[in-house]
Structure 1
Amino acid sequence: MAYRQAADFGAGRTCNGSAQTQQGETLVGLLVGLGMSMVVLAAGSQMLAQLLQGHRLALQDSHMHHDLRSALDTIAKELRQAQAIGQAYRRRATAQCADAFCAGQADLVVQGQRISFGQDRNQNGLMDNNECLGFRLRDHELQIRTACTPEVWTDLTDAGSLKMTGLNWQVHCEKRGRWVARWVTVQMSAQWPSDATRALSLSQTVSLRNDVPDSPWPVVCGAAP
């Protein structure tokens, strides 16, 4: 009897005499599991792609803001010194504005999106050819003027990375005794070169450090008060 029980047990029976069945995953179960894994993998890949796309757009927007801010800072730096002249306390001591940087072609002039002005860089009181400055838009790029005659314009921005769409100037004037103080509001707008929906605008008001005598009244200020 003991020998027969051992034989039965070795033949795949349990100690209580019931049959023991070996079971594994079916083909259908494997296919379902594989399909679910592919769905999860696809969803994860899509989330990663969206995350990378968002990071790329944020980086591009940051570069666009930086480039536009740098251009505006350059304008503000030069514009503050518009019509500056060496020894202004002596050359502009009278009520008549007669120096080369106070009236005439070097006066502050706004023509549409363009602004022009002079600046006595070497402080000799004379208008040298490299002392005519200005800013303008040309072919969606911001340009700076660096020479009087012939005019020389140099690009400050690149339309391939920052497409300039607007440049506006508004000059404000205030008479203070026999002097005229002025400040200029600059508004710039740009967009991403390949996506017009991604646009940015910045503005800044720049106070001109150099007042000018009120005679003659600056043309840029309009009618005299």
Structure 2
Amino acid sequence: MTRPFKPRQHQMGNMQGETLMGLLVGLTVGLVALAGGSALLANQLRGHRMARQDSQLQHDLRSAVDWMARELNQAHFVANAWQTRSPGECADPFCAGLDDFSIHGSRITFSHDRNHNGTKDNNECLGFRLVKGALQARTACSPEVWTALNDTASLQLTQLEWQLHCTKAQGWLQRRVDLSMTAQWPGDAGRQVQLQRKIHIRNAVPVSRMDLFCP
């Protein structure tokens, strides 16, 4: 004869469920850990974004300085200069006046013979200046035309300085311009980048023009 099944009372008595308090404590600990992890991830993402922005800021500023240096390096260039220039005189239109080289505050202007024809065309008056956070380039002689090179909503320039150094060499005037430029992210003065560059002007002018081009 088969005996009827009876559950073991001692096994049933040993089975216990989790209390409500234990569940709440566990849930609280989990939420705290989740919040901490989320804050850590947010800080990491913010740091990564700021690092990328700073890298982009440095890249943009360096590109601007490189381009400005290349242009300024050619100031006073004219084709066949040996025919128009000597230590005693300068008979070409690229060393005749302030449009050919001058510095005033953040503004520098200069000229050079882009197309090598010996004549100053209207697009051969160049220069740079800082206006309300924007770097502007001069692209025409008369009337003057200035074009912004950066969007101040994403890059703001705060300082542009030029320092001129002049030396005499065998009747010729040799010059060097020290450029200093500072930029920042708009509205964040604590994140600034500054670059400096020494720019040697290749094309000499007669010492007789020193009062005009190196006052």
Equivalent residue for 1:169? 162
- 1:85 and 1:123 in contact (8 A); partners too: yes
Equivalent residue for 1:151? 144
**Counterpart residue type for residue 195 of structure 2:** L
Residues paired across the two proteins, number? 213
Post-superposition CA distance 1:101-146 (Å, at most 9, x none): 1132333100111001111111121111111000011121001101
Equivalent residue for 1:26? 19
1:79-90 to 2 correspondence within 5 Å? Answer: 79-90=72-83
- 1:103 and 1:218 in contact (8 A); partners too: no
> Is the counterpart of residue 210 in structure 1 residue 210 in structure 2?
no
Q: Give the structure with higher Rg (CA).
A: 1
Q: Which runs of 5+ in 1 are unaligned?
A: none
SS in 2 for 1:189: strand
Q: Percent identity, aligned pairs only?
A: 50
Compute the displacement of 1:94 (Å).
5.1
> Is the counterpart of residue 186 in structure 1 residue 183 in structure 2?
no
Match of 1:77 among 70, 81, 84: 70
Match of 1:117 among 104, 110, 115: 110
Compute the displacement of 1:24 (Å).
2.6
Equivalent residue for 1:12? 9
SS in 2 for 1:217: helix
Q: 2: distance between equivalents of 1:133 and 1:69?
A: 20
- 2:173 and 2:207 in contact (8 A); partners too: yes
Q: 2: distance between equivalents of 1:192 and 1:129?
A: 35
1:32-71 to 2 correspondence within 5 Å? Answer: 32-71=25-64
TM-score by length of 1: 0.88
Whose strand proportion is higher, 1 or 2?
2
SS in 2 for 1:145: strand
Q: 2: distance between equivalents of 1:145 and 1:66?
A: 22
**Counterpart residue type for residue 96 of structure 2:** A
Q: Which runs of 5+ in 2 are unaligned?
A: none
Compute the displacement of 1:13 (Å).
3.9
- 1:115 and 1:136 in contact (8 A); partners too: yes
- Name the Cα RMSD after superposition: 1.9
**Counterpart residue type for residue 215 of structure 1:** S
SS in 2 for 1:210: strand
